[in-house]
């Protein structure tokens, strides 16, 4: 089983180019089954590929009474494997309150920030985290239910910046079977069973349901959909970026797009060009389907000869961080002051009832 897992991890690393000779890797270790498995197996794969695991990194989220024991467990594992260990503590609850996000979202943000900081300190070129094929299937279902479209379907990327995910072709059941067979210890996180968290419902109810009634293959099939969706998304983003270079112009702090050229694009590209244009002034705020639709509808509207007084009134919409108006055959994206922007943000969030789903978690690592 060990050899099988090693072979699978190696294949993922080679196919996706996750590790190259000379890479220095840190591993994000929560103490859960997935990251414990990664910690046990990645050093061997890394060595074979000429790379080196240089440290284990653990962030104590201080959310549960056992958080201190989790940290001690991770430190002990590092000692046992003779690997340097780094840890830090953050008050995720306070951070979530401050940034008005879910515990899951806040936890993810501070966790990745911590891992990046450790990577910089250690001169690491890669941050390995322990998402599995199951995390991939869960993410795909979560995003789909959120209406994220084919791009959301792309799920978790095997590689994003410094972050790599060598377990992305391994199932959680395989991880658990291996840990049991080798009698390896790991920490149990009871919040993973909290069904008020959408991801946990998907994990413990929806996917088992689909496996029972649709077929055991559903996790692998969802993950396969993610592979294709990722390829499609990469290509479409590439074409849209190239198109934006010639079509979307920055003029005196505003963004200008020729309406006729925009509407002449294939809808798949036009929609992405508009989203990219909106993101320029959105300042990181969420730009969604409804915002893009509103801009396209403004573009499709026939332009009336402007009557004095009423000029332009009907042809202006508020969107995250900006106001978009139609004028002289052009769409003009104008950044607005922070106050107005906040109002736009409240209005702009298209489906508050699904807010809990905006926190697309990336697993337990």
251 to 312, 332, 334: CA distances (angstroms) = 20, 9, 10
Part in contact with a second copy (CB under 8 A); list of ranges 18-26, 221-229, 306-314, 337-345: 221-229
68 touches a second copy by CB under 8 A: no
Part in contact with a second copy (CB under 8 A); list of ranges 37-45, 184-192, 206-214, 313-321: 206-214
222 touches a second copy by CB under 8 A: yes
Q: Which of residues 338-357 bind a second copy (CB under 8 A)?
A: 351, 353-354, 357
Identify whether the C-beta of residue 138 lies closer than 8 Å to the C-beta of residue 202: yes
Q: Which of residues 108-147 bind a second copy (CB under 8 A)?
A: 140, 144-147
Identify whether the C-beta of residue 283 lies closer than 8 Å to the C-beta of residue 321: yes
232 touches a second copy by CB under 8 A: yes
Q: Which of 218, 247, 274, 287 binds a second copy (CB under 8 A)?
A: 218
Q: Which of residues 169-188 bind a second copy (CB under 8 A)?
A: none
228 touches a second copy by CB under 8 A: yes
Part in contact with a second copy (CB under 8 A); list of ranges 27-35, 111-119, 212-220, 308-316: 212-220
Q: Which of 220, 316, 317, 336 binds a second copy (CB under 8 A)?
A: 220
Q: What SS3 class is residue 181? A: helix
Q: Which of residues 272-311 bind a second copy (CB under 8 A)?
A: 289
Q: How far is the CB of 216 from a second copy (least distance, A)?
A: 7
Q: Which of 84, 217, 283, 329 binds a second copy (CB under 8 A)?
A: 217
Among all chains, which residue has been given the structure tokens 């496996």?
211
Identify whether the C-beta of residue 17 lies closer than 8 Å to the C-beta of residue 159: yes
Output 130 or 226, the one with its CB closest to a second copy: 226
149 touches a second copy by CB under 8 A: yes
Q: Which of 69, 234, 242, 301 binds a second copy (CB under 8 A)?
A: 234
Residue 175: which of 2, 58, 351, 43 has the closest Cα?
2
208 touches a second copy by CB under 8 A: no
Number of Cβ within 10 Å of residue 230's Cβ equals: 18
| Structure tokens belonging to residue 306 | 């402007």
Part in contact with a second copy (CB under 8 A); list of ranges 46-54, 92-100, 175-183, 220-228: 220-228
Q: Which of 238, 241, 312, 328 binds a second copy (CB under 8 A)?
A: 238
261 touches a second copy by CB under 8 A: no
271 touches a second copy by CB under 8 A: yes
242 touches a second copy by CB under 8 A: no
Part in contact with a second copy (CB under 8 A); list of ranges 180-188, 225-233, 311-319, 328-336: 225-233
Q: What is the DSSP string of 219-231?
A: HHHHHHHHHHHHH
Q: What is the DSSP letter of 196?
A: T
Q: CA 153, 158, 162, 167 torsion: positive or negative?
A: positive
Number of Cβ within 10 Å of residue 345's Cβ equals: 18
If phi over 0 gives left and psi between -120 and 50 gives alpha, with beta otherwise, what is residue 191?
A: alpha
Q: What is the DSSP letter of 316?
A: E
| Structure tokens belonging to residue 313 | 């009134």
Part in contact with a second copy (CB under 8 A); list of ranges 51-59, 75-83, 162-170, 201-209: 201-209
Residue 362: which of 193, 98, 157, 62 has the closest Cα?
157
Output 49 or 145, the one with its CB closest to a second copy: 145
Q: Where are the beta strands (DSSP E) in the chain?
A: 24-28, 52-60, 85-89, 126-128, 159-160, 163-164, 248-251, 254-258, 316-319, 322-327, 330-335
Residue 363: which of 108, 48, 83, 15 has the closest Cα?
108
Q: Under rule CB under 8 A, how many of the chain's residues touch a second copy?
A: 46
Output 218 or 324, the one with its CB closest to a second copy: 218
- Work out the burial of residue 307: count CB atoms within 10 Å of its CB; fewer than 13 is exposed, 13-18 middle, 19 or more buried: exposed
The footprint of a second copy (CB under 8 A) covers 140, 144-153, 198, 201, 205-206, 209-210, 213-218, 220-222, 224-225, 228-229, 231-232, 234-236, 238, 266-269, 271, 289, 351, 353-354, 357
């Amino acid at each position: 089983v060990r050899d099988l897992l090693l072979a699978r991890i190696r294949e993922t690393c080679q196919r996706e180019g996750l590790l190259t000779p000379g890479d220095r890797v840190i591993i994000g270790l929560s103490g859960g089954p997935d990251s414990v498995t990664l910690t046990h197996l990645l050093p061997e794969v890394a060595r074979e590929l000429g790379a080196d695991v240089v440290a284990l990194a653990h962030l104590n989220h201080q959310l549960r009474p056992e958080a201190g024991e989790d940290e001690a467990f991770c430190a002990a594992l590092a000692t046992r494997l003779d690997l340097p260990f780094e840890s830090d503590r953050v008050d995720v609850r306070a951070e979530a309150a401050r940034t008005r996000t879910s515990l899951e979202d806040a936890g993810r943000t501070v966790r990745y920030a911590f891992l990046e900081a450790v990577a910089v300190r250690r001169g690491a070129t890669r941050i390995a985290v322990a998402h599995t094929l199951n995390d991939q299937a869960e993410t795909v279902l979560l995003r789909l239910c959120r209406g994220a479209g084919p791009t959301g379907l792309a799920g978790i990327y095997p590689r994003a910046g410094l972050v790599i995910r060598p377990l992305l072709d391994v199932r959680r059941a395989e991880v658990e079977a291996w840990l049991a067979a080798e009698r390896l210890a790991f920490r149990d996180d009871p919040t993973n069973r909290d069904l008020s968290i959408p991801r946990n419902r998907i994990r413990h109810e929806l996917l088992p349901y689909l496996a029972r009634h649709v077929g055991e293959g559903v996790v692998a099939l969802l993950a396969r959909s993610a592979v294709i969706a990722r390829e499609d998304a990469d290509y479409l983003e590439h074409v849209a970026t190239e198109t934006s270079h010639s079509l979307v112009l920055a003029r005196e702090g505003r963004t200008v797009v020729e309406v006729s050229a925009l509407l002449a694009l294939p809808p798949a590209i036009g929609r992405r060009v508009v989203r990219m244009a909106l993101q320029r002034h959105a300042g990181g705020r969420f730009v969604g389907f409804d915002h893009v639709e509103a801009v396209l509808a403004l573009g499709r509207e026939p332009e009336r000869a402007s009557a004095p007084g009423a000029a332009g009134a009907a042809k202006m919409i508020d969107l995250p961080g900006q106001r978009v108006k139609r004028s002289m055959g052009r769409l003009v994206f104008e950044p607005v002051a922070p106050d107005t922007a906040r109002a736009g943000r409240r209005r702009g969030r298209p489906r508050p009832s699904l807010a809990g789903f905006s926190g697309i978690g990336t697993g337990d690592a």
